[in-house]
Amino acid sequence: MKRIISIILFFTLVFNCSVKEHPKFIGLENIKVLDSNIKTITLSADAHFLNTNNVGGVLKTDDLRVYINDAEVAKFSSEEFKVPSKKDFKISLTVAIATDSIIDKKSIGGLLGSLISQKLEIHYKGDIKYKVFGYSSTYKVDKIQNVKIKL
Domains of the chain: 21-148 (2.60.40.10)
Q: What is the pTM assigned to this prediction? A: 0.72
pLDDT, residue 103, reads 63
- The residue among 37, 44, 63 whose CA lies nearest residue 138 is 63
31 close to 45: Cβ distance less than 8 angstroms: yes
Residue 61 CB neighbour total at 10 angstroms: 21
pLDDT, residue 105, reads 46
pLDDT, residue 2, reads 67
- The residue among 132, 28, 116 whose CA lies nearest residue 80 is 132
Sequence letter at residue 97: I
Query: What is the spatial distance between Cα 43 and Cα 144, in angstroms, rounded to a whole number?
Result: 13
Ramachandran sector of residue 10 (left: φ over 0; alpha: ψ -120 to 50; beta: rest): alpha
Which positions of the chain have pLDDT values less than 70? Answer: 1-2, 4-20, 101-118, 149-151
pLDDT, residue 53, reads 82
